[in-house]
Structure 1
Amino acid sequence: MPTMNAYPQTFAYAPRCMGSVASLLLLAALHGCGGTQEPVISVSKITYTSLDPVKALNVPAELRMPRGQKLPAVVIVHGSSGIDSRGISYAKELNAVGIATLEIDMWAARGISDAAGRPKSVPETLPDAYGALKFLAVQSQIDSQRIGIMGFSWGGVVTMLSATAPYTQQYMAGSGLAFAAHAPNYPVCWVYNRVPGYAFNSFTGARVFLQGGDLDTYDLPDTCPKLALSVAAAAPPGVLRVKMYANATHGFDRSEAAVTISDPFSHLGKGGEVLMAPNPEAAALARTATVAFFLKQFGM
């Protein structure tokens, strides 16, 4: 059963005044950036039940709830390294415009501390994402028909696959639930429709907004745009939109120091080293674009 702690933290904070004119106008219009009333966010550490049919997994998560009723919400899914700076940076900006967030910890649910122990395939963690959808849908403050999902790398792949009809039917059949919008960041575009379990050709119809960097060595600079073109014939019009950032590596929206990792899924599946270096300018643009995407999809 889902559980919430008995003493959620409630506090006020001022949303960060982002640098671009568009983002300043967006936050100023909705919350008065640097001006009037600061949003009050209730923060709760909760656990919910994964929909894994084999393992009984209780997934820890952080639920961040702005004031209001029938709020839209976004599930945030981490990458292979686990929870880091990315999730909270997007959560705070989504919260600032009245969108609840649930950042889930799939690795803690499995007793994993880092990428070395991650599951063999991303589809193994899809039940965690759909379990989060089910959990949010029964919260009294949440609008069950306006729940989106976003994620980074591994979490980006989760976000992509949860836009497909077969996986959604597998885990949510009879519930009337499906994610309303998907925002994957650098979701290893070469794997789709090439590797078993990663079919991306039958869709729920919810919009997918994919963001990546041209220096991402999991893919080539044109891999993600070509994916969008390849699925256009089978997808509803405009279901997949891609935005690529110049001079941006895999994980460009991390604030941690640059790091080089080795991953067998990189370099179009040949394996090898992957540089993850922060790009603050691209990160700010990506956060602004993500917020704008969810605002549009939620009709806000």
Structure 2
Amino acid sequence: MSLRTSYVAFRTAADPPLTVAGRLETIPDGGRTPAVVICHGSDGVDGRGAFHAKALNAAGIATLEVDMWAARGSARGAAARPRSPLQTLPDAFAAKAFLAAQPEVDPARIGIMGFSWGGVVTLLAATQAAQRLNDAAPPFRGHVALYPVCWAYGVVPGLSLDALTGAPVLIQAGDADAYDDPDGLDQLLARLPDASRKAIRGVTHPGAGHGFDRDAPAQTIVDPFAHKGQGGPVLMAFHPEAAETARKLAVEFFQTSLP
């Protein structure tokens, strides 16, 4: 299968409005294919997006990984990112609109996935409130959020999953993630209303910590959202088994939700 790689830019409705860049992978001989927007974590574009894009592209799914930091002049890391993931939601919806306009992409089959900060964006994009504010077009057809700080929903102002669009959601977390309790994902699902819970599938990977699919030397970061909002250090270490399983599950999920 041949791929076409393009480096693109498009306007978003952020405040103030921005021109955001991204890496687009399309399949020129595949007809109008499904596509997935990929949203990075606090460390910016760091290889996780490419890790998942490779498998998605091989499955016949186009990808657009968005760089949410460069247009804001943000340095990488927790200290430099915007105040809230809500501020970067317009980037995700603008990326969706950009994908929908590409001749290789089926505009009715666009999903979204993200890691950590990008995972929060991915989940918020599944809410009715975000859909109303950011996009008049049909909602994303599927959402895959990896380690999206599970304790925060219903606790941090503006972060709520109580009213979703109904599109299917897959959340993948690790039981060694320093942002949450080992059963943090189960706790999140238990406190959601029935309608939201029915739209979400949760998978917890044993022994995996935050950033378990980041194939790079281990590093310790400090984040005020870590340890259920108490703040502190977080070890990010690659977990090959969890990473490969998570990638496989993401591909299978999008093959089903973007048929």
| TM band (smaller chain) | over 0.9
Aligned to 2:153: 192
Aligned to 2:42: 80
Give me the whole-angstrom Cα distance separating, in 2, the residues matched to 1:134 and 1:65.
15
Paired residue type of 2:213: D
Paired residue type of 1:60: A
Give me the whole-angstrom Cα distance separating, in 1, the residues matched to 2:109 and 2:139.
9
1:251-277 residue CA offsets vs partner (Å, 9 max, x unmatched) = 000011101111110001011111111
Query: Which of 113-122 and 259-268 deviates more?
Result: 113-122
- What is the CA distance between 1:200 and its match in structure 2? 1.0
Unmatched 5+ stretches in structure 1: 1-38
What TM-score results when the alignment is normalised by the length of structure 1? 0.84
Q: Where do residues 282-293 of structure 1 align in structure 2 (5 Å cutoff)?
A: 282-293=242-253
- What is the CA distance between 1:238 and its match in structure 2? 2.9
Q: Where do residues 132-211 of structure 1 align in structure 2 (5 Å cutoff)?
A: 132-173=95-136, 176-211=137-172
In structure 1, the residue corresponding to 2:198 is in which secondary structure?
A: coil
Give me the whole-angstrom Cα distance separating, in 2, the residues matched to 1:238 and 1:199.
16
In structure 1, the residue corresponding to 2:202 is in which secondary structure?
A: strand
1:140-182 residue CA offsets vs partner (Å, 9 max, x unmatched) = 2211111000000000000010000011111113xx3211100
Aligned to 1:107: 69
- What is the CA distance between 1:232 and its match in structure 2? 4.3
1:259 paired with 2:219, answer yes
Runs of 4+ in 1 over 6 A off after TM superposition: none
1:42-91 residue CA offsets vs partner (Å, 9 max, x unmatched) = 00000011121x31211110000013222100000000000011100100
Give me the whole-angstrom Cα distance separating, in 2, the residues matched to 1:72 and 1:155.
20
Q: Which of these residues, 15, 32, 57, is aligned with residue 18 of structure 2?
A: 57
Aligned to 1:213: 174
Give me the whole-angstrom Cα distance separating, in 1, the residues matched to 2:47 and 2:104.
26
1:225-283 residue CA offsets vs partner (Å, 9 max, x unmatched) = 12122224232x63111101111010000011101111110001011111111111110
1:21-40 residue CA offsets vs partner (Å, 9 max, x unmatched) = xxxxxxxxxxxxxxxxxx10
Aligned to 2:206: 246
Does the CA-based 8 Å contact 2:180-2:228 persist in structure 1? yes
Aligned to 1:34: none
In structure 2, the residue corresponding to 1:254 is in which secondary structure?
A: coil
Aligned to 1:227: 188
- What is the CA distance between 1:110 and its match in structure 2? 0.9
Give me the whole-angstrom Cα distance separating, in 2, the residues matched to 1:149 and 1:57.
20
Paired residue type of 1:172: D
Query: Which of 215-224 and 108-117 deviates more?
Result: 108-117
1:90 paired with 2:52, answer yes
Give me the whole-angstrom Cα distance separating, in 1, the residues matched to 2:17 and 2:184.
37
1:124 paired with 2:87, answer yes
Query: How many matched pairs?
Result: 257
Query: Which of 105-114 and 283-292 deviates more?
Result: 105-114
Structure 1 vs Structure 2 CA RMSD: 1.1
Paired residue type of 2:51: S
In structure 1, the residue corresponding to 2:69 is in which secondary structure?
A: helix
1:102-140 residue CA offsets vs partner (Å, 9 max, x unmatched) = 000000111223113110111000010011011111112
What TM-score results when the alignment is normalised by the length of structure 2? 0.97
Aligned to 1:10: none
Q: Structure with the greater relative contact order (CA < 8 A, sep ≥ 6): 1 or 2?
A: 2
Does the CA-based 8 Å contact 2:162-2:193 persist in structure 1? no
**Aligned sequence identity (%):** 48
Does the CA-based 8 Å contact 2:111-2:141 persist in structure 1? yes
- What is the CA distance between 1:210 and its match in structure 2? 0.3
Does the CA-based 8 Å contact 1:144-1:177 persist in structure 2? no
Give me the whole-angstrom Cα distance separating, in 1, the residues matched to 2:104 and 2:145.
25
Unmatched 5+ stretches in structure 2: none
Give me the whole-angstrom Cα distance separating, in 2, the residues matched to 1:64 and 1:141.
10
